[in-house]
Structure 1
Amino acid sequence: MPLVTIVALCHNHAPFVHEALDSILSQTHLNLEVWLVDDASTDGSSAILREYAAQNPTWKLLLLPENVGNCRAFNAAFRQSTGELVIDFATDDVLLPERVAQQVAAFEAAEPTVGVVYSNAELIAEDGEVLGLHHRAGRAGGVLPRPASGWVFAEVLRRYFISTPTMMMRRACLISLGGYDEELAYEDFDFWVRASRAWQFLYLDAVTTRKRKHPRSMSSRAYQRHDPYLASTIRVCEKALALLQTSDERTALATRVRWEMRQAILRRRFAEALKLFVLLRHATKPTLLDLALAAGSQLAMKATLAFNQERA
């Protein structure tokens, strides 16, 4: 059986970490390499990780002295690991017992150019209440968001459809990218863009994971007024611009940049909106609405600057 590395990343997950680590122990695929990584938690999570490491002597424990963020914390363990296949596992989520076995089987049946297998997820609340599925039945038939398999570079630019916690990655894929980009505040969009340029993605139509939605999760903090995620998104879009090869990919990036630009404006992030407009002009010819939004952002930014100067 292939060795599968599970990098269990924890930062202040004390209410959830027992269930998360028990779900690793429940896996039917037994050839596992487990890394417990605590990113300088302040809620007692590290004591729980120590407890599980003591009870499972083959598990590795990495307690980081300062908070370095998900990308650096993952890389610190990944670069010491040896598994042919890798799971980035946040310890506020839950692995269903057949998760690893199902995805290993999918990899073994797939072409060697498949770098990622992802699947469906059950969404749960902070208290464990079931909220629904990530890939759910649409009103007009089919599944929303529609999963995609194969060469999905344009699709990952155009829209969000992958449930990040469900991914299993081929080690060779991660190595070819140099791991996660440690300069970014989050990892998934950047990984999808860079990986899908050279590797195929495969959707496994099965619920393999419970993804927890709560106020402290990374996704819930995105697009807040002072969050660092928008700057990272702009950087990923800049990377994507350099990777474009077809007109369809250019259109896909324009779709993404327009959406991000509108999110920035809604949250009064006018400087970031203007950076996105510059990116949009490189990807496609702006529409009249694009030009109007950019002009409005520039005026709003000047007005805010003048107001702050008067108050000072």
Structure 2
Amino acid sequence: MISVTGQSNDLPMSPYLNQIKPWVTVICISFNHEAYVEEALQSVVTQTYPNVELIVIDNGSTDRTPERIDAFAARHPGVQFIRNSVNVGLNRAFNQGLKLAGGRYVIDLSADDVLLPDRIARQADLFERLAGPYAVVFTNAQYIDEKGQCIGYHYPVDNQGKARVSVPSGDVFRNVLESYYICTPTMMMRRDVLNELGGYDEALAFEDFDFWVRSARLYHYAYLDDVLTCKRRLSDSLSAQIARADNPLLHSTLAVCYKALARCETPDERQALARRTRRFVRKAFYAEQFDLALRFGQLSSQLEPPDLLTRFILGLSRLHLPVNGIYRTYLKWRGADYALSPVTKLV
């Protein structure tokens, strides 16, 4: 493999020490990211870590993203570039890169996010020091807007940049059932675990919840309390699409919830999954996917009796009320501060 970072120093033992450091593969998926892709790729090649493999997959972009990647790869011959003629879906595109990956660890990088310079070095060092069945190291993240300006943090931070909330680590299966508390682009994953699980599930519209459910049942996660990634929040991002009436994310979520049900082993885990399904009864209702809301309700009832609010929402779902426009107006009114609230992340 050819490292894209070209890091070196003058210490007598540095060539040997660099050779024994594990390789890390960054798989960068792009789709119409011409405004951001060069910054994302540059953040990989400027890492302070010596052994970094970079695989870039353009997923059928219709703008100038492929040309930007071509120009970048010409300046950095170690970059592997795959250009899909059509969008094959995020999960399938990632699996294309996974088949080529040679690193011990893998980072899934969106082409509009940015790695801070020490990210790979810090995470790889922690991975190598961990004892036990750890599959993922994750961190805090800074949220940035279209212009790269800071608009918040995934976990609120103090004056030293440390999280002001307790972040679950170790056996996190119950935690990932209950909420999206992990910032997905901060994860570094073991490649052998990804291969063991068969990569991302290509039948789904998104990757993270399913990966968490399948991997956290078998392995532990380690939290590194530093801000090492800038996550860009755009109005058309995947996470923003869940409020749309035509979004496919809710169908995938229901499929993963059933996978999770089959893996629950304790009453606490079933209760955590019940809390998630109750929230998605409401999300499906607000998206006017009424049949799906009822199916979430059926699953929730298998876990524990539905509460009064859930029964009320299920009753309204049978009326097919036009609520999506009102809900999206409400979300716009609440704005970014609500979306970034630690309550919405950790509760």
| Fold shared, TM-score > 0.5 on shorter chain | yes
1:228 corresponds, among 248, 254, 258, to 248
1:296 corresponds, among 308, 316, 321, to 316
Secondary structure of 2:136 counterpart: strand
Aligned-residue offset at 1:218 = 1.6
Query: C-alpha distance in 1, partners of 2:239/2:309?
Result: 29
Show the counterpart of 1:207. 227
Show the counterpart of 2:51. 31
Cα deviation, 1:18-42, whole Å, max 9, x if unaligned, reads 1111111110112011101100111
Secondary structure of 1:136 counterpart: coil
Secondary structure of 2:319 counterpart: helix
Secondary structure of 1:264 counterpart: helix
Deviates more, 1:94-103 or 1:104-113: 104-113
Query: C-alpha distance in 2, partners of 1:119/1:297?
Result: 38
Query: C-alpha distance in 1, partners of 2:100/2:289?
Result: 39
Query: C-alpha distance in 2, partners of 1:171/1:137?
Result: 30
**1:256-295 pair list within 5 angstroms:** 256-295=276-315
**Structure 2 unaligned regions, length at least 5:** 1-20, 322-347
Show the counterpart of 2:179. 159
Matching of residue 55 in structure 1 with residue 68 in structure 2: no
Show the counterpart of 2:167. 147
**Structure 1 unaligned regions, length at least 5:** 302-312
Any conservation in 2 of the 1:149–1:201 contact (CA below 8 Å)?
Answer: yes
1:244 corresponds, among 264, 267, 272, to 264
Secondary structure of 1:198 counterpart: coil
Query: C-alpha distance in 2, partners of 1:154/1:70?
Result: 26
Show the counterpart of 1:42. 62
Show the counterpart of 1:187. 207
Any conservation in 2 of the 1:9–1:74 contact (CA below 8 Å)?
Answer: yes
Aligned-residue offset at 1:144 = 6.4
Any conservation in 2 of the 1:145–1:160 contact (CA below 8 Å)?
Answer: no
Cα deviation, 1:145-183, whole Å, max 9, x if unaligned, reads 642101101100111211111000011211121100000
2:216 corresponds, among 193, 196, 218, to 196
Secondary structure of 1:202 counterpart: strand
Cα deviation, 1:248-285, whole Å, max 9, x if unaligned, reads 00000000000111112223221110010011111112
What amino acid is the match of 1:36? V
Any conservation in 1 of the 2:145–2:232 contact (CA below 8 Å)?
Answer: yes
Secondary structure of 1:150 counterpart: coil
Any conservation in 1 of the 2:274–2:300 contact (CA below 8 Å)?
Answer: yes
Secondary structure of 1:276 counterpart: helix
Query: C-alpha distance in 2, partners of 1:49/1:137?
Result: 34
Query: C-alpha distance in 1, partners of 2:167/2:210?
Result: 18
1:129 corresponds, among 149, 153, 156, to 149
What amino acid is the match of 2:176? V
Query: C-alpha distance in 2, partners of 1:146/1:296?
Result: 37
Cα deviation, 1:193-232, whole Å, max 9, x if unaligned, reads 1110001001000111000011132212223110111111
Secondary structure of 1:161 counterpart: coil
Matching of residue 93 in structure 1 with residue 113 in structure 2: yes
Number of residue pairs aligned between Structure 1 and Structure 2: 298
Aligned-residue offset at 1:112 = 4.1
Label 1:144 to 1:41 Cα distance change in 2 as closer, same or farther (>3 A). farther
Once the two structures are aligned, what percentage of the paired residues are identical? 42
Query: C-alpha distance in 2, partners of 1:212/1:154?
Result: 28
Show the counterpart of 2:339. none
Any conservation in 2 of the 1:223–1:230 contact (CA below 8 Å)?
Answer: no
Any conservation in 2 of the 1:27–1:99 contact (CA below 8 Å)?
Answer: yes
Query: C-alpha distance in 2, partners of 1:128/1:174?
Result: 31
Aligned-residue offset at 1:291 = 2.8
Show the counterpart of 1:70. 90
Secondary structure of 2:32 counterpart: coil
Show the counterpart of 2:11. none
Q: What TM-score results when the alignment is normalised by the length of structure 1? A: 0.92
